[in-house]
């Protein structure tokens, strides 16, 4: 699902292998859709996916013996600067590619090595912005459809007015509503959404 919020990141992913550098950074808040976009790129490249913490633990020799295509998720958690520097140089020489996913752009990471810092600063960093109404509505529709649940558009519009504007919130509300509907054997309607909203407000008040 492409909207103004993620269109630029999507176009950059689809532009591969015609990137100006061997690396690309896509950043944004948790649940904004970075992982979904990376799956598209992974299908193109068969890239190996590693989380930042896992990258810190894996040996450099193991990385260099792998095909030179990687996705580094939560890349802002990487604290092995020298290892990342050597991997970056390896990708350049072997004509590989690397997709960084993170909350912040590489220029904001603690790089340690000046040479690594300069390389990170050259990487195109594309932000996924908070989702607009069109993207959130389409996402909620799809999430319910994946659960084989039909929900009227008026219910989704009502939910959009009251929920936090994030993809993570959309996932959470779809799961909450589906679970409650199954337990109570009810359809997902505006009264059900209103009940859950009131419960959430009451719980927050007592925290």
Return the CATH fold of 7-127: Rossmann fold (3.40.50)
pLDDT at 168: 82
Rg (C-alpha) for the chain, rounded Å, is 20
Q: What is the pLDDT of residues 146-174, one digit of tens each?
A: 999 999 999 999 999 999 888 888 989 99
CATH number corresponding to 133-205: 1.10.8.60
Same fold across 7-127 and 133-205: no
Specify the pTM. 0.78
Q: Where are the domains of the chain?
A: 7-127, 133-205
When the pLDDT of each residue in the chain is averaged and rounded to a whole number, the result is 91
Report the alpha-carbon distance of residue 107 to residue 104 in Å, rounded: 8
Q: Average the pLDDT over 94-116 and give the result.
A: 90
pLDDT at 207: 47
Q: What is the pLDDT of residues 6-56, one digit of tens each?
A: 999 999 999 999 999 999 999 998 878 899 899 999 999 999 999 999 999
Does position 2 have pLDDT exceeding 90, yes or no?
no
Helices (H), the chain: 7-15, 34-45, 52-57, 60-65, 81-94, 114-121, 133-146, 153-162, 167-184, 190-205
Q: Average the pLDDT over 124-149 and give the result.
A: 91
Band of residue 107 on the pLDDT scale cut at 50, 70, 90? confident
pLDDT at 31: 75
13 CB-near residues (< 8 Å, 6+ apart): 24, 26, 37, 38, 40, 41, 99
Band of residue 205 on the pLDDT scale cut at 50, 70, 90? low
Band of residue 57 on the pLDDT scale cut at 50, 70, 90? very high
Band of residue 59 on the pLDDT scale cut at 50, 70, 90? very high
pLDDT at 133: 86
């Amino acid at each position: 699902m492409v909207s103004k919020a993620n269109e630029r990141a999507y176009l950059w992913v689809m532009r591969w292998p015609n990137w100006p550098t061997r690396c690309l950074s896509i950043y944004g808040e948790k649940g904004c859709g970075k992982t979904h976009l990376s799956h598209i790129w992974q299908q193109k490249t068969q890239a190996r996916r590693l989380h930042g913490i896992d990258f810190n633990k894996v040996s450099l020799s193991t990385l260099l013996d792998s095909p030179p295509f990687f996705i580094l998720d939560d890349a802002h958690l990487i604290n092995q600067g020298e290892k990342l520097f050597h991997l970056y140089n390896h990708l350049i020489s072997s004509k590989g590619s690397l997709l960084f996913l993170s909350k912040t752009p590489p220029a904001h990471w603690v790089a340690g090595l000046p040479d690594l810092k300069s390389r990170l600063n050259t990487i195109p960093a594309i932000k996924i912005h908070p989702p607009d109404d069109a993207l959130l509505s389409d996402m909620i529709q799809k999430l319910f459809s994946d659960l084989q649940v039909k929900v009227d558009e008026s219910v989704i519009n009502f939910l959009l007015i009251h929920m936090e504007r994030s993809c993570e919130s959309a996932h959470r509300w779809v799961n909450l509503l589906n679970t409650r509907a199954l337990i109570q054997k009810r359809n997902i309607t505006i009264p059900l959404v209103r009940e859950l909203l009131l419960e959430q407000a009451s719980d927050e008040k007592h925290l």
